[in-house]
């Protein structure tokens, strides 16, 4: 259990170090391998980088806190409903990634302006049912339905959601999505992208350049940097 909590604390540190902290907003979760109906989660009231083995809480798929002294985020249902709908996945990230939020306001598809965009060439769902917080089970389930089989989703004017079979990949997707949005925003500022990656080539590149060793390598690299 302690090793999983350390991993989750490192995940929060990576997100904060890479500019996805929003004071005490944003959260990340990790399913317990021996109790798939429960997951570890960042508590409310602290920054992503302030998670420790002592303050991380445990939550069930109904969104109830079952262990821990700290408070529970009111957007817990993003995590509980995505993990319920995606038994293949173990981790969920939700942040107010700034470039992704700005990009979502354009109402445009994400293009392969850079290598980062290639990782979403198979599709990037946009949840636009509401721009409110996801504070009910019903809305959490709606987010999970919109996410579907994909690993990442934009919450319009709000933030991002990523999920994966490892916490390292879920974090990697969050970093790459914000970066891809940043690249396209810069192209938009210059008048709009005129040349973008071929869609078929982007899908091929995205498939071979997204691997567990890369996810883990990037994750561990940022953890080291965050401790300097």
Residue-by-residue DSSP string for 5-55: HHHHHHHHHHHHHTT--BTTB-EEEEEETTEEEEEEEPPTTS-GGG--TTT
**What is the C-alpha to C-alpha distance for residues 42 and 210, in angstroms, rounded to an integer?**
26
Q: Mind listing the pLDDT tens digit of every residue in the chain (228 residues)?
A: 699 999 999 999 999 999 999 999 999 999 999 999 999 999 999 999 999 999 999 999 999 999 999 999 999 999 999 999 999 999 999 999 999 999 999 999 999 999 999 999 999 999 999 999 999 999 999 999 999 999 999 999 999 999 999 999 999 999 999 999 999 999 999 999 999 988 899 899 988 999 999 999 999 999 999 998
pLDDT of residue 144: 98
- Cβ pair 139, 155 in contact under 8 A: no
- Cβ pair 180, 117 in contact under 8 A: yes
For residue 15 the two structure tokens come to 């997100």
According to DSSP, the residues that pair with 170 across neighbouring strands are: none
- Cβ pair 130, 152 in contact under 8 A: no
Q: What are phi and psi of 87, to 5 degrees?
A: -65, -15
pLDDT of residue 64: 98
What strands lie across the sheet with 159-164, from one edge to the other?
A: 65-67, 57-60, 35-41, 27-32, 91-95, 159-164, 152-155, 126-127
Q: Is 223 exposed, middle or buried (0-12, 13-18, 19+ CB in 10 A)?
A: middle
pLDDT of residue 218: 98
**What is the C-alpha to C-alpha distance for residues 148 and 129, in angstroms, rounded to an integer?**
15
Q: How far is CA 149 from CA 145, 158, 178, in A?
A: 9, 21, 20
Following CA atoms 29, 32, 37, 43 in sequence, which dihedral angle do they give, to the nearest 10 degrees? -30
């Amino acid at each position: 259990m302690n090793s999983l909590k350390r991993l989750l604390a490192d995940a929060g540190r990576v997100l904060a170090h890479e500019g996805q902290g929003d004071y005490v907003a944003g959260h990340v979760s990790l399913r317990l391998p021996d109790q798939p109906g429960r997951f570890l989660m960042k508590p409310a009231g602290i920054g992503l980088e302030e998670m420790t083995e002592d303050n991380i809480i445990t939550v069930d798929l109904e969104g109830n806190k079952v262990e821990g002294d700290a408070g529970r985020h009111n957007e817990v249902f993003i995590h509980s409903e995505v993990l319920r709908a995606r038994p293949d996945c173990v981790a969920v990230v939700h942040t107010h990634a700034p470039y992704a939020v700005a990009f979502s306001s354009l109402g445009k598809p994400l293009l392969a302006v850079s290598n980062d965009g290639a990782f979403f060439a198979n599709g990037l769902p946009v949840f636009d049912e509401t721009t409110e917080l996801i504070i009910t089970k019903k809305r959490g389930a709606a987010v999970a339905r919109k996410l579907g089989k994909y690993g990442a989703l934009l919450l319009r004017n709000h933030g991002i959601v990523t999920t994966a079979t490892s916490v390292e990949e879920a974090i990697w997707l969050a970093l790459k999505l914000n970066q891809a949005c940043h690249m396209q925003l810069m192209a938009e500022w210059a008048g709009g992208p005129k040349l973008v990656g071929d869609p078929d080539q982007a899908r091929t590149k995205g498939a071979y350049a997204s691997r567990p060793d890369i996810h883990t390598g990037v994750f561990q690299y940022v953890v080291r940097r965050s401790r300097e």
